[in-house]
Structure 1
């Protein structure tokens, strides 16, 4: 009987080792979640410098990611403020994404930039906004409507207030004033 108990214990020990070891040959891979870690609705984000409002961002939905990036799947509305705390220009898009590492935004889908002070409007399908350089740019087709002209072309570079802009490859008719 003593031998039977030893044999029984040995079989249990061997089967335990086999059971524990069988998963090592075929481990289940761990899947890392890369989706949003936080979702917020109807958000307003204010950017200021020296206690002066510079930019106001409104969005219906914001997804925050673990690395600090954000997405605005239902679009964004940005308002840029001048020194007098008045809205000087606006930017609207159907979708936007913020890249924390580059501190820049990417906007896509019916992107419209209005310079309220100059009465100019720019329309395109994609736009990049570099907050550090305070610059917006695109390599896509753009249309700029001034008080007197409609200028079209491919590519645009501008300051983020859309005050000083340049179409890289313009097309169409442009009115040029002759010096007197």
Structure 2
């Protein structure tokens, strides 16, 4: 009887071991087939310099950059961009809570408390979303926009502007502004 109990215990332990091994084997393939969707690279306190004909044209700074599997870039802790003219003089700045650069379309999107300042004209634009296409050198949004100058406060929904904010078109305008007659 003593041998029977021992054989019974060994058989039970063997069955438990087999069940454990089988369940482990079943989980492993499921884990291997799931694709990682997070960033493939992270950078802290990054700076990006863009040039045009060997002249500084854009300088971007961000506390956190995540580069995704498809090469899209996510600036999760804010962005600060400076635009320069052909003489190397800073003309415009852009600040936002977050940013995204879509690699396939080369469109950059600034999100949350977006503030663009034209230093030459002393103009400030405020909105919640602003898209920038460096290929066309245009800024645009379909969101509510406020433009503030020393003399005017213009509000509207929708905007298209040059990247240096030297000229712009707004839609659905309201506010206090001068009109040339």
Q: Same fold (TM over 0.5)?
A: yes
Q: Which residue, 102, 120, 123 being the options, matches 2:123?
A: 120
Quote the residue 1:65 is aligned against.
Answer: 68
Quote the residue 1:169 is aligned against.
Answer: 172
The two structures, once aligned, show a CA RMSD in angstroms of 1.7
CA distance in 2, matches of 1:165, 1:102: 23
The structure with more helix, counted as a fraction of residues: 2
Moved over 2 A (4+): none
Structure 2: 5+ residue stretches without partners: 1-21
Quote the residue 2:30 is aligned against.
Answer: 28
Quote the residue 1:79 is aligned against.
Answer: 82
Q: TM-score, normalised by structure 1?
A: 0.82
Q: Which residue, 35, 38, 49 being the options, matches 1:46?
A: 49
CA distance in 1, matches of 2:180, 2:170: 18
Q: Structure 2 matches for 1:88-103, cutoff 5 A? A: 88-103=91-106
Deviations 1:14-40 (A, max 9, x none): xxxxxx9xx89xx63711111101110
Deviation (angstroms), 1:174: 2.1
Structure 1: 5+ residue stretches without partners: 1-19
Deviations 1:37-82 (A, max 9, x none): 1110011100001110000000000001122110000010000001
CA distance in 2, matches of 1:101, 1:157: 22
Deviation (angstroms), 1:177: 3.0
Three-state SS of the structure 1 residue aligned to 2:172 is: strand
Q: Structure 2 matches for 1:131-146, cutoff 5 A? A: 131-146=134-149
CA distance in 2, matches of 1:41, 1:64: 12
